[in-house]
Each structure stands twice: as structure tokens, then as C-alpha cells.
Amino acid sequence: MNGNTVLEIQGLSGGYSLNRPVLHNISFQVKPGEMVGLIGLNGAGKSTTMKHILGLMNPQKGEIRVQGKKREEDSEAYHGSLAFVPESPLLYEEMTVREHLEFTARAYGVARTDYEERANRLAQIFRMQDKMDSLSTHLSKGMRQKVMIMCAFVARPSLYIIDEPFLGLDPLGIRSLLDFMVELKEGGTSILLSSHILSTIENYCDRFIVLHQGSVIAQGTLQDIAAQAGTSGAGLEEMFYTLVQGRD
């Protein structure tokens, strides 16, 4: 493994059935301080790839390393090196926003002073100051999504796995999230981001991985993707359309 790589996936094949793998020989890397966009149609294998990284599914072939370690080698170190923001918010209904953040901070071993500083800043960034002591069951879907995002960001792992985070967020929430991810990235944090809103992530991600029917059909910078798509001067949406059309 490259010592300058936070996430490395090599020859990954896997899925829900041994006879019908969803993923086919996937390989890619995410380096320190890099935001990588994972894009593809519904059913392309984006969520399945993330489940394998999170350890919710075991590879049928290939391997996954986070900070140089496989999950079976050191599960605690592996999982402590990453945080996940799911597409749909999953919260404890009888816990407040503050309690969710405290619970997450304790799970990651965040010092109390760091927790308080981060929690206060996140509450300001996502405009949740007046909701910190509200039960999650009383929050709107967009606010519940913000709580999931805040819980992930109260920790400071080396790698974030973020799945369709913009669903339910208002325009200010989307902008706040993007700006904060850029700040984290500039501080050396790595981010693997899945989103269908290609026009939004086009100017934020350093590289892109295009999945189609469980295989990587293109990856690299915008310029790399344009070359692989055979387009010039097109936006990411047009490049993506060119790559996937006719492949079904």
C-alpha cells in the first residue's frame, strides 16, 4: 500500500450473494486532504461500496485498507479512523441533539474541551443553536440530517464516508456543509462523497470515480474524466451522461 493513502481499495468484488456479485474488481484510492466524488446511476454500486468500507459487508475478493490496516487486522483502529454520514438520518428519538453529539464524542475519545469547542461551532455553522436541547423526534427531516452531519464532524477521523448528504438540506445548509468539508480537506482530512447532484460537487471534489453496473468505468480529475469520456469543455453532468449512455 502507498504510505500516502488513507483509503485503498484493491480488486474489490462483493455483494449480497456469492453467485451474483454487485461489485466487480473495483480499485481506487483516497489520499490525505482529498475529496473524491463517487458517482453513478441508481444501482451502480455506490452504497454497496460504502457498506464494504464500513465493514457492514465482507469482500468476496480483494481488500480494503484504511490508514494501511485491514478491518480484520485491527478492527478498533480501522473503525476509529473513519466516520459515516448516511443518506437517511438515524437518530435516537428520546435523545437531544446535544446528547447525540456527546455520545459520538465519547465513542471517538474526543477530549471534553475539544468536544465543547467543536459542538458550539457546528451548532453555529448549521444554525442549530436553539435546537441543541430538543429531542430528535421533534426535529424536521432536514434538521435530523444536520444532526447526523454534526455527529460525524464532532469527531476528527482521517476519513469521512458521506452518502448523499444534501437530501433534505436547505440551500444554506448545503453551502455550509460544502464549505466545512473544504475546510476539513484543507486541514488534511480525506472525504469520499457520493452524490447525484453533479453540478454541486463538480467544483468541490479533487477527483471522481464513475461506477456503472458495479464496475469503475472512469476515474480521475475533471480533465481525466473528460479525456476518458471523449468530451472537451463539457461539465461533469455531460461527461457522466456520455460515459454511461449505451452501456446498459
Query: Per-domain residue ranges for the chain?
Result: 1-81+158-248, 91-156
CB 118 within 8 A of CB 153: yes
pLDDT in tens, 226-245: 999 988 878 999 999 999 98
At residue 246, the pLDDT reads 63
Would you identify the CATH topology of the domain 1-81+158-248? Rossmann fold (3.40.50)
Beta-bridge partners for 85? 162
d(CA 192, CA 203): 15
CA angle, corner 43, sides to 196 and 179, nearest 5? 25
Phi, psi of 111 (to 5 degrees): -60, 150
Q: Angle, nearest 10°, between helix axes 141-154 and 171-186? A: 10
Question: How many CB atoms within 10 Å of residue 142?
Answer: 14
Is the model's pLDDT at 1 over the cut of 50?
no
Mean pLDDT to the nearest integer, 76-100? 93
Query: Could you give the percent of the chain with pLDDT greater than 90?
Result: 89
User: CA nearest 83: which of 143, 155, 30?
Assistant: 155
**Could you tell me the pTM of the whole model?**
0.93
Phi, psi of 213 (to 5 degrees): 50, 40
User: CA nearest 61: which of 37, 25, 93?
Assistant: 25
The string over 6-39, giving b where at least 16 C-beta atoms fall within 10 Å of a residue's C-beta and e elsewhere, is bbbbbebbbbeeeeebbbbebebbbeeebbbbbb
At residue 248, the pLDDT reads 61
pLDDT in tens, 21-42: 999 999 999 999 999 999 999 9
pLDDT in tens, 38-86: 999 999 999 999 999 999 999 999 999 999 999 999 999 999 999 999 9
Phi, psi of 226 (to 5 degrees): -60, -40
CB 169 within 8 A of CB 177: yes
